[in-house]
Amino acid sequence: MFRIDRRFFQNFDWILLLLLLGVAGMALMNLYSASYPPSPWGMPPFVKQCYLFLFGMLCILFILFFDYRELHFWNYPFYVLIIILLLLVLFVGNSAGGAQRWINLGFFRLQPSELAKLMLVVTLASYYSRKEQTEGYGIRDMITPVLLTLLPFLLIMKQPDLGTALMLGIIFVSMTVFAKIRIQTYGLGLVLGGAAGVFAWFFLLRDYQKRRIETLLNPAKDPMGQGYQILQSKIAVGSGGVGGKGYLEGTQGHLHFLPERHTDFAFSVWGEEWGFAGSLFFLGVYFTMLFWGLYVAMTARDRFGVFLSFGVVMLIFWQAVINLLMILGFLPVVGIPLPLVSYGGSSLLTTLLGLGILMNVRMRRFQTGQNADKMK
């Protein structure tokens, strides 16, 4: 199983690795600033994130030793494991900020809902690659993927974690549209989606979640409450101007006006210190990494590799877009991190595992089915 073809290094995706290291380097530098000066007690977030990043890179190295097609077999055991972890969270999970989302492992607090996003990518990729419909997927074909998405969605809503639950829905829609569905399926999906939205507003969303959505329309209505985060984030980004205030010189973050500056609003710190020019450079590198991921999907050797790569890119892309629109005040604050940038161990490891899968697909693009079997 660990026998590696001599073309391993010849086909290794050095471009994706360099883009990943570039984004991670800027993100860690930003996290140091966001958590500066360090607290006199406990391990600083910057140090924790560095350790987790190194561990994540080791996980990527481990992933590369296996053919990604083995996920066809492991996707359902992986699915069951994540569901069990999500159930455990509801009974023995740690609570913080009114939410129960973590399992304390002693050395690390695991957030299973983050892994659930990658699990759903693998599961849907396996389903759509196995059950190909040249004329598009019909309503009956969609029953299985809908149920596979709905179960973790409801368990995560129970925590409650609206942002992560919505991400499962977005991943499902993105991969399903990419797989191609019939026109009548679109119509039914729109009707059911609208009905689900109305049902969620009246029966699923909590009062504070509704207030976040209402605050989006008028953040100035409650400037010291629900609208405070959005207003301070916009001030921080806007005060950066063209060239920024300089590294470690951001006033909104360092004077503690900006809340959650090392997690949800990490990019606000970057925007204040590096300005429009620095933000444009960062986003240029970041989205180049994602566009390269789409290129990996386009050059994958099989249908499973295509869906797997596309799903990983959508997982990162939509989180990034939602987070950026959130800090600019175009979307409500729903707690979706900026992958690789926001502080959080489970989010970081999930993103690195996804990028490791991308590298795996790219590295094995030269293999035929027979050659793939010889490598195992």
Tokens standing for residue 104 = 């304390």
The tokens describing 301, both together, are: 């050797």
Query: Is residue 302 in a domain?
Result: yes
Give every CB contact of residue 211 below 8 A, 6+ residues apart in sequence. Answer: 222, 225, 226
- The verdict on residue 6 lying in a domain is no
Cα–Cα–Cα angle for 159, 160, 162, rounded to 5 degrees: 135
| 51 three-state secondary structure | helix
Q: 75, 88 in Cβ contact below 8 A?
A: no
Residue 210 has what pLDDT?
A: 67
Question: How many domains does the structure of the chain reveal?
Answer: 1
Tell me 67's DSSP state: -
Residue 376: the pLDDT is 38
> For the whole prediction, is pTM greater than 0.85?
yes
| CA-wise closest residue to 226 among 241, 237, 215 | 215
Residue 2 inside a domain? The answer is no
- Quick one: CA dihedral 150, 152, 153, 158, positive or negative? positive
- Average pLDDT per run of 10 along the chain, which is 376 residues long? 58 92 95 80 84 95 90 91 93 72 81 94 94 82 92 90 90 92 76 74 67 59 61 84 88 74 88 94 96 95 94 96 89 86 92 95 73 41
In a domain, 178, yes or no: yes
Which phi and psi angles does 102 have, rounded to 5°?
Answer: -120, 150
Q: Is 91 within the bounds of a domain? A: yes
Residue 322 in any domain: the answer is yes
Residue 293 has a pLDDT of: 96
pLDDT of residue 212: 63
Residue 228 has a pLDDT of 72
Residue 5 falls inside a structural domain:
no
Asked if residue 1 is part of any domain, the answer here is: no
Domain containing 351 equals 14-375
* Contact predicate 99/168, CB 8 Å: no
- Crossing angle between the packed helical segments 303-327 and 345-363, to the nearest 10 degrees: 140
Cα–Cα distance for residue pair 329/31, rounded to 1 Å: 22
Residues 79 and 109: beta-carbon distance below 8 Å: no
Q: Measured between alpha carbons, how far is residue 52 from residues 46, 49, 57, 174 in Å?
A: 10, 5, 9, 29
Residues 170, 176, 178, 181: is their CA dihedral positive or negative?
Answer: negative
